[in-house]
Amino acid sequence: MSYIGILITYIFIQNFILVQFMGLCPFIGVSKNSESAIGMGIAVTFVTGIASVVCYAVHTFLLVPFALEYLRTIAFILVIAALVQLVEMVIKKMSPALYQALGIYLPLITTNCAVLGIAIINIDEGYNLLESFTAGIAAGLGFTLAIILMSNIREKLEMTPVRKVFRGVPIAFISASLMALAFMGFDSSLITNLHLG
């Protein structure tokens, strides 16, 4: 599949939140206002991009040569946890302004399924280094798109008369469900019709 094909697949067709349900906890937890949604989205995109490359490298150059593929889950989660720490330290040193904006979201990302999810999907799909990186960025962008849309919907919902039992999380789920219905319009035939396959 071409790089644009991978981008479209993971942003729209296999959208991480609305189709694969990865990263639902921050999606519901952090989508109350659009500023924090954007911060979370950028932080996740940053980490999924880097984690895809590093996990690909760990799998290809460390696990496969020593026939240790069964340690994949442990190796990847350790790499991701270390990476998130490292990214946090680097951002703190290089750009205090960016750290101010992303700081509180970075530690949460270790346990975001989207990061481990894309690392495992890359290996299962047999992507090469550059394809893994593209898929990682695309997955992050898909997450960002969904969380920003959701935060805008929730800001509007704040001012809407919603029945008491549906207020808060339930109405957020139902709105997400309607968004998922809209995302069903993107399916794999899009890739075929655009000749990206």
Indicate whether 190 belongs to the interface with other proteins (CB under 8 A): no
- Rounded to whole angstroms, how far apart are CA atoms 148 and 144? 6
Near other proteins in 110-129, by CB under 8 A:
110-113, 115-117, 120-121, 124
Residue number with CB closer to other proteins (120 or 148): 120
| Cβ count near 97 (within 10 Å) | 9
Contact between 170 and other proteins (CB under 8 A)?
yes
Asked if residue 168 binds other proteins (CB under 8 A), the reply is: yes
Q: Which of residues 12-51 bind other proteins (CB under 8 A)?
A: 18-25, 28
Backbone angles phi, psi at 169, to 5 degrees: -65, -45
By CB under 8 A, residue 174 contacts other proteins: yes
Helix ranges restricted to H, 9-33: 24-29
Contacts to other proteins from residues 136-165, by CB under 8 A:
164-165
| Ranges within 93-112 binding other proteins (CB under 8 A) | 110-112
DSSP string, 6-31: HHHIIIIIT-TTTTT-TTHHHHHHST
User: Residue 31 to residues 20, 58, 90, 128, 180: CA-CA distances in angstroms?
Assistant: 18, 33, 26, 33, 16
Length of the chain counted residue by residue: 197
Please give the Cα distance from 22 to 115 (Å, whole number).
Answer: 9
Q: Return the amino acid letter for 20.
A: Q
Indicate the residue among 38 and 77 with the shorter CB distance to other proteins.
Answer: 77
From the list 42, 81, 157, 196, which residue makes contact with other proteins (rule: CB under 8 A)?
81
**Least Å from the CB of residue 46 to other proteins:** 18
List contacts with other proteins (CB under 8 A). Answer: 18-25, 28, 70-74, 76-78, 81, 110-113, 115-117, 120-121, 124, 164-166, 168-174, 176-178, 180-181, 183-184
